[in-house]
Chain A
């Protein structure tokens, strides 16, 4: 104390003061950094969830619109028209649609919805070639390709991306290619779309499910 009274102006910090201030500072720092980290994490998660939701929503809207418009394609022979859905697999689907919203010409279109090697959901369109008698065939060269969703999660134990049901509600097995008779019996397509940030990151996955009917196919759904 005496030393202190003599040299008042030059008084430094005592060890206790230093320790107390360090403890308080560290407590404050821990609180601030904790808040900052959790805020960053929460905002990252919310933004990933938001992005995935928008992406899944866009993808689902685009797919549902195409599937709703699916129509059988009349051919010159045989007498029966080609079924509206010409390829039905767990992760790919090809259909004919007369509701063609991508072109200015009033012509049908062939659409393939499939998951590619990078787990992107890709929509491929082929233009139609008119023939006498109101018949159409489809070009072999691709008209347009667009990505509907960036990362589609593998289905795992849940429903696959596409599952197909007949009028009795029975799901058709798609392990092997369906026969034309089976393809004609498809009435509804259940789309279960799970979008996540990357193939490895399933934390902010968003799953949308929609059973899409095909009014143009004109088969009735049974049951309640």
Chain B
């Protein structure tokens, strides 16, 4: 051993020619071996991984072929929909995704085949992945196209493609669709076949309809559309040999409970009998009338994921100046966020509170009001008329002269009343509709921030502590 490993150069020079291997030499040798071993080990692991990957890829190919086979065997092309499934095989979980969409004569690829053209065929894209898949490798995919088994287009007739989407953007299934000729039918006729409810992709196809103008409506219990209509109706014109698209944003309503005047803890606040509440979403503002004067009200609204800003009163945005159209300043002061001018003490308006629900969910929200007490008017009626900008410093104003009525006021020396934010002129009267006597400022005491002078100003601004 020593002779074998002896360094030739040393044997001649040194007398101690039989010196063994030093520890350093052994360590270096082991280090070199370790490098080689790591390389070999990596090779082993990779070979195991690759053979497993080849097996999984083969399984995935078969699953994709199966999905295409099943789609091809389906009798009705309209019943082939998007589908996700998982399969466990050889201890690996495979996820199979089938995406389907209509290919139209215009080549546009919209939901439910919308985009103007006639439906031609349905394309199917199957992708299969598995859980231990290497990120850089592609999914197994299979693609096919399905032509309808029978004729679905007619050059003398048209098609209506209805797409119903939920607030989250997915298809709303099971929504009843109806289409009736418009009041001005232009040749439209009552459909011979009732349209099917929407499928899992939220699509309903009204094939071979007579050209003309139709009112298409969607309905499902407890559903509301983005305009808060329970049965939204859209009018669409159908021409011969073309397809018209109708889309609805329609989802299960969320229940929103509003608690009014929670910013005042004392006493019971009476609300006006004609109070509207503004629910402002990214899409539009919705201003329903409160059902009663109770300080807790429930509303069933479209479940926008981004939610609603809530405040009392009807918000009307100012219209921009358009020639030949009278510009209005709208009714802005009800929105606390519109009080952008800081007060002398640094108080400033903050955006109204936001609330959102899931479809079918529930949420509650506190709606602050401007609260004041009024004395000596028991049993009488009261009318508050909103004032335009300039009635009070910092008030953005409500130029529409919106009126709020109370009455008869409850028995007792004082009554605690709530109004949307803004400036108001108050008038009293003994009967409903004859409130013409101005209320003297001395009988009014403001409970929240504001002032009672010639006009009553209810101010939502708050001092924001940094």
Contact = CB atoms under 8 A, between A and B. Distances in A.
Interface of A: 8-9, 11, 13, 17, 21, 24, 28, 31-32, 35, 38-39, 42-43, 45-47, 49-50, 52-53, 56-57, 60, 64, 68, 187-188, 205-215, 219-222, 224
Given A32-B33, A43-B47, A211-B69, 11 more contacts: A11-B18, A28-B30, A31-B37, A45-B48, A47-B51, A49-B52, A50-B54, A56-B58, A213-B72, A214-B73, A221-B73
B361 interface: no
Contact of A21 (B1, B81, B83): B1
A89 B164 CA distance: 46
A35 B59 contact: no
Contact of A210 (B18, B37, B66): B66
B263 interface: no
Interface residues on B, range: 35 or more
A50 B58 CA distance: 11
B187 interface: no
A210 B54 CA distance: 17
B313 to A, nearest CB: 49
Q: Binding site of B, secondary structure by majority: helix, strand, loop or mixed?
A: helix
The 7 closest A-B pairs by CB, nearest first: A220-B75, A213-B73, A46-B51, A213-B69, A221-B73, A210-B62, A49-B51
16 contacts: A9-B17, A28-B29, A31-B37, A35-B40, A39-B40, A43-B44, A53-B51, A53-B58, A57-B58, A206-B90, A209-B89, A210-B65, A210-B66, A221-B75, A222-B75, A224-B200
Contacts, number: 112
B74 interface: yes
Interface in B413-457: none
Contacts of B284: none
Interface in B150-185: none
Contacts of A13: 2, 20
A68 B69 CA distance: 9
Contacts of A57: 58, 61
Contacts of B81: 224
Contacts of B40: 35, 39
B87 interface: yes
Given A35-B40, A206-B90, A212 B51 contact: no
Q: Binding site of A, secondary structure by majority: helix, strand, loop or mixed?
A: helix
A202 to B, nearest CB: 11
Nearest to B79: A224
Contact of B48 (A9, A42, A188): A42
Interface in B1-49: 1-2, 15-18, 20-21, 26, 29-30, 33, 37, 40-41, 43-45, 47-48
Given A31-B37, A224-B83, A60 B15 contact: no
Contact of B55 (A21, A49, A60, A64): A49
A60 B66 CA distance: 12
B145 to A, nearest CB: 15
B143 interface: no
B200 to A, nearest CB: 7
Contacts of B70: 188, 211, 213, 221
Contacts of B348: none
Contacts of B45: 42
A215 B73 CA distance: 6
A53 B61 CA distance: 12
A219 to B, nearest CB: 8
A100 B1 CA distance: 71
Contacts of B37: 31, 35
Contacts of B55: 49, 52-53, 206
A209 B65 contact: no
Contacts of B66: 209-212
B16 to A, nearest CB: 6
B109 interface: no
A21 B66 CA distance: 63
A42 B2 CA distance: 36
Contacts of A68: 69
Contacts of B58: 53, 56-57, 206, 208
B111 to A, nearest CB: 18
Contacts of A38: 41, 44
A17 B30 CA distance: 18
A8 B16 contact: yes
A68 B72 CA distance: 11
Contacts of A56: 58
Contacts of B30: 28
Nearest to A167: B75
Contact of B90 (A50, A207, A221): A207
A212 B63 CA distance: 10
A128 to B, nearest CB: 26
A158 to B, nearest CB: 9
A208 B63 CA distance: 8
B89 A17 contact: no
Contacts of A210: 62-63, 65-66, 69
Contacts of B43: 39
Contacts of A21: 1, 20-21
A9 B73 contact: no
A60 B75 contact: no
Contacts of A53: 51, 54-55, 58
Interface string B282-300: 0000000000000000000
